[in-house]
Amino acid sequence: MAAAPEWLTEAYIVHALRSYYKDDSLKINKLEVNPALGPGENYGGVLNRVRVSFKLKAQAQLEQQNLIVKTAIEDDELTKELTSHYDIFNREMNIYEDILPKLNEILKELNMFEPLFPTTIFIDRQRMAIIFEDLSVQGYVMSDRVKRLDKQHAELVLHKLAKMHAASAILNERNAGSLEKYDRGFFNQYTDAYSGYFVGGLLAAARWMSQDPECARYGKKLFELAPHYMDIGRECFKPVPGAVNVLTHGDIWTNNVMVKYDAATGCPLDILLIDFQYSFWGSPTLDLHHFFNTSLQEQLRRSEQSALIKHYHGIFRHILRKSAYAEQPIPSLLQFQLQAEQKRFFAVHSTVVVQPVMLCEDATDACFNALMNDDERGLRFKNRLYDNPTVQQNLKALMPFFDTKGVLEVNQCC
């Protein structure tokens, strides 16, 4: 578990809070710093929870503030090198500081505003740090990533995601394509830096499948797919010409949404979207494929995706129409479902390569370095992912479906 950075001191928090509250006399009474997540819970940064009590100039009583401090992974040179190709922290800081407030303003203008994201307290570009409100104080928690999400959760996520997507399309139209510069999704034209994870995970899946008679033919297809995998991914991630593209979340899954529950019934009441390191300009259906194939309970994933797409599409289309969006034709439900089919390769990637990491319950070797590397430790970690009975059951159920869709073929982009 990564320790808090040395610079995360009382003086630093004082500076951040004084900047946010615009009170140079603010003084801290008590400060606690603790890790927010354990190994295997987050691979894109270091999260620390800060509890602080302080006094503002205009108030007699102490204020209590609970914060999350997110910083880049600094203690591993390989991690720093690979993530630098994606520029994930500069991107996330730009999005929190500049883009998300503008999306909120558009939704307010349309009388459709509701909180979609946490409040940002402080952004430090020198140290690559972002300080947010700690949503747990308001009753928001992470759902169980292993149990995954039911239909109530899924519809709440899709509701907020549709609002974010639609507002981003409107913003891009109004600002002459300003969001199209965000072109570094998981697969992009600039780098294959994550091929160790992506192709390495694919090959680990293929090795397991090749040893199981029920899956051996699919293992063979994955071995054949591996040399073409990054190119197919790049093609999949290209924006769709003549269609409504959006600023996607880019990594929408159980641990990147915070949920508030009704204390009496246990039902989900609200969600907020977090973690925008991999946001990119492209088809909104890519977020849907990723979410469906990493975070839904199996009955939903296997039988209700079309209904969930319809739920999302109704909100997305309504907002675009209400804003008089005109840059591209607003898609009918059929057109949107067809676009989802065109992007189904990402469902394969999310199922075969990504979800096994997210369902991992053995934290041995669980770190970014092991994900990306093909050394002994990395191979051991990736191979172990496919020993998980849940992962095996999911793949046995879904590989025949993907095969009939043609998304296991090496020439699927032709």
Question: pLDDT class for 365, splitting at 50, 70, 90?
Answer: confident
- Cα–Cα distances (Å) from 387 to 165, 205, 210, 324, 364, in that order, read 37, 10, 13, 51, 13
Question: pLDDT class for 3, splitting at 50, 70, 90?
Answer: low
Question: pLDDT class for 89, splitting at 50, 70, 90?
Answer: confident
Digit-coded pLDDT (tens) for 107-133: 999 999 999 999 999 999 998 899 999
DSSP string, 171-192: HHHHTTSGGGG---SSS-SS--
Q: Indicate if the pLDDT at residue 364 is higher than 80.
A: no
Structure pTM?
0.92
Q: Return d(Cα 154, Cα 134) in angstroms, integer.
A: 23
Q: Indicate if the pLDDT at residue 367 is higher than 80.
A: no
Return the higher-pLDDT residue of 199 and 378.
199
Digit-coded pLDDT (tens) for 130-149: 999 999 889 999 999 999 99
For the chain, which domains are there? 10-71 (2.30.30), 82-117+139-405 (3.90.1200)
Per-residue pLDDT at 88: 86
Return the higher-pLDDT residue of 285 and 64.
285
Per-residue pLDDT at 133: 92
Q: Return d(Cα 373, Cα 79) in angstroms, integer.
A: 10
Q: Indicate if the pLDDT at residue 74 is higher than 70.
A: no
Per-residue pLDDT at 43: 46
CB burial string 135-158: b at 16+ within 10 A, e below: beeeebebbebeebbeeebbbbbb
Digit-coded pLDDT (tens) for 335-346: 999 999 999 999
Question: pLDDT class for 39, splitting at 50, 70, 90?
Answer: very low
Q: Indicate if the pLDDT at residue 45 is higher than 70.
A: no
What are the φ and ψ backbone dihedral angles of 247, each rounded to 5 degrees?
-80, 105
Percent of the chain scoring above 90 in pLDDT:
81
Average pLDDT of the residues of the chain: 92
Over residues 215-223, mean pLDDT: 97
Per-residue pLDDT at 41: 47
Tokens coding 169: 């399309």
Question: pLDDT class for 378, splitting at 50, 70, 90?
Answer: confident
Over residues 382-403, mean pLDDT: 96
Question: pLDDT class for 40, splitting at 50, 70, 90?
Answer: very low
Helix (H) / strand (E) element for 311: namely: helix 305-322
